[in-house]
Each structure stands twice: as structure tokens, then as C-alpha cells.
Amino acid sequence: MTISMFSPSTSLTPSTNAGRRAVRLWLGVVAALIVLMVIVGGATRLTGSGLSITEWRPVTGALLPMGEASWMVEFDKYRATPQYSLLNQGMSLGEFQFIYMWEWGHRQLGRLIGFVYLLPLLWFAVRGVVRGRLLATLLGIGALGGAQGGIGWIMVASGLTPGMTAVAPLKLMLHLVAACGLFVSVVWVMVGLRERHADMQSPARLRTTGTLLIAGVLIQIALGALVAGLNAGMSFNTWPLMDGRLIPETFTLLPITPWWHNLVESIALVQFNHRLGAYMLLALALWHMFDAHRLAPGTKTVRMARVMAGLVVAQAGIGIMTLLLVAPLWAALLHQAMAVLMLGHAVAHRRMMSPARRSLQDQALSA
């Protein structure tokens, strides 16, 4: 009898092909919305809009101010912030409404993602389409998504303290990395519900470098958040040299005492680390691709590894272009969007290299 190499235990995955397809489609929509959320969040940061809403109101904040009087109430709250007094003194109501709408849209999209995730999950659970460990995993992802709203407010609150004109770079990084963690989790589960055959398995070494690629992309995204938080892309706009050297002098990289503060506060060091991380990620992606050709020739693993290397090369080019153009909004958003798409491919690639597992039922058949 022919034995399927998929069909893991029904406690892990939906028990029917139709159920698996439905859950994959739902998770695909959620993943796409998270990508959009990251892009909108990047635009909110780069337009200086993130501090325009000074309160966290998860329910009532879904409504826009109605009428000029309501808008003036919100504007007065913003005019009491350090960002207004230090950067935007004299801003008109229309200019305030522009930045307000960016932040409101970002928060509204977060609410939409919550509904798109929670309501189908409840339906799938009630119908028994998802259960057991899969249901527990999906509930955990939902809890992380709920916590992301709180992380976002902690980030915003850091920019409302005296003397601050933007959110704290470390908290911006935490917010972005948490969003990427959600994205990784959703993509991992979604791809795991696809049928995997024995010929899609890959040697352990390729799985290890595949895991390192995910980690490398996440580290680069975290470093990129620090670059954005410090507006570091506006400085040292040459390549491959930086401050006229391949490795800037120590006093350029480490101007702050104590030295470890430079890791998150030095514009030069943060940008240098992001550049160095890009070189290392590119080397890893190329090594992984050539290794796949040697160890798994003619397989889907090789094709996925080629795409991964191509994405890293393209992302490096976009990053250089963004730097040379002094980080215009469109280029910075393209760079950020490509980073998330690259992360998604790395996760899908690694997940598909996992050994196929047989269900308890299939194991009984083989006996």
C-alpha cells in the first residue's frame, strides 16, 4: 500500500485536505496583513507621525475625531508634547491631521489584524478544524499579537517623555522584532500545513544554515530598526567607504562614554554594524546556495536557496541605493518591505527542509 509521507497526527494539523487549505489561506492573509503593517509602521516612523496620538485607547481610539472642535482637542494634546515644542512649533491643524492619520491608520490596521486572526480561529476551533497542539500554538500566536499592542504603546510612551522628539530606538527595535516574530510564527505554521514528500528532505547541514539565515535576517532587521530610530541613514552616505575608510576610526565609531552605549546611540556604529551584518548575511546566503547544489542537486531546496541568495543580493542593492540617495521615504520603505519578504522566504525555505513526518495512522498501515 502506498504510504503518504505527510498527514501528521490530527492533533497537529487539520484532518482533511480542505481543512488544511482553509487554514493555510487564512494564515496567508494574516501574513500579508502583517507585511502591510510593517510597511505602514515604517511610514509612520519615517514621517514623524508616531507621537501624534498621545493616548492608548484600544477601543474608543478606533473612532476618528468628529468635527473641528474634536480635532482641536487632539491637537492641543499633541502641542503639549516635547516633539511639538522642539521640532514642530507652529504646525497647522492640517499638518497635524496628516501625521495623525498615519498613526491612526497604523493602529487601525492592528485592530483589523486582530479581528482577521481571532474570528476565523474561533470558527476553526468550534468546527474542530484545528485542535490539540495546533490550536494551542495558534492561541499562543494570538496572545503574542495582543501583547504587540502593549509593546507599541510602551514604544510611543518613550517618545512622550521630557526632552524626547522621537521614540527610543531600542523600543522601536523591540516593536519591530516582535512584529517579525509574529510573522515568522504565522509563516512557519502555514508552510508546515503544506504537503511535504520524502524527496524534499535536506541534509542536516543545510537545515542548520537555513536556520542561521532566519536568525541573520532577524538580526539585520533589528539593526535596521536602530538605524531608523537614530536616522542613521541620513549620515555617512557613501559606499563602500564610510567616513572615507572601510572601517571608520575609533573616535568616529565610539564617541560616547561608556563605550557600550554606542551600540544603540552612536549613529556611526549603528550604521557600520548594519553594513557589516549585510556582508555577513550575503556571504551566508551564497554559501548556503552553493552547499545546496553540492548536497541536494536537482531538488526544490536548491531552487529555494537560489531565490534566497537572489533576494539577499537585491536587498543589498536596495540598501546601498537608499544610503546613496540619503534615505528618501520610498526607498526606505522598499528596503523595509524587502527585508520582511526576505524573512518570509527564509522561514518557508527552512520549514520545507524539515523531515516529513508520518501520522500514527500511516505508521500503523506500514506495520
Among residues 344, 96, 102, 332, the alpha carbon closest in space to that of 229 is found at 332
CA distance 57 to 117: 20
CA distance 336 to 170: 17
> φ, ψ for residue 8 (rounded to 5)?
-60, 170
Give the contacts of 241 (CB within 8 A, at least 6 positions apart). none
* Gyration radius of the chain over CA positions: 23
What string of pLDDT tens digits covers the 367 residues of the chain? 333 333 333 345 565 788 889 999 999 999 999 999 999 999 999 999 999 999 988 887 889 999 999 999 999 999 999 999 999 999 999 999 999 999 999 999 999 999 999 999 999 999 999 999 999 999 999 999 999 989 999 999 999 999 898 999 999 999 999 999 999 999 999 999 987 655 566 889 999 999 999 999 999 999 999 999 999 999 999 999 999 999 999 888 999 989 999 999 999 999 999 999 999 999 999 999 999 999 999 889 999 999 999 999 999 999 999 999 999 999 999 999 999 999 999 999 999 998 755 433 333 222 3
In terms of Cβ atoms closer than 10 Å to its own Cβ (0-12, 13-18, 19+), residue 117 is: buried
Q: What is the pTM of this model?
A: 0.90
DSSP3 helix / strand / coil % (the chain, rounded to 5): 70, 0, 30
Written as one string, the DSSP assignment of 217-281 is HHHHHHHHHHHHHTTGGGS---SS-BTTBSS--HHHH--SSSGGGHHHH-HHHHHHHHHHHHHHH
Are 138 and 98 a contacting pair, CB within 8 Å? Answer: no
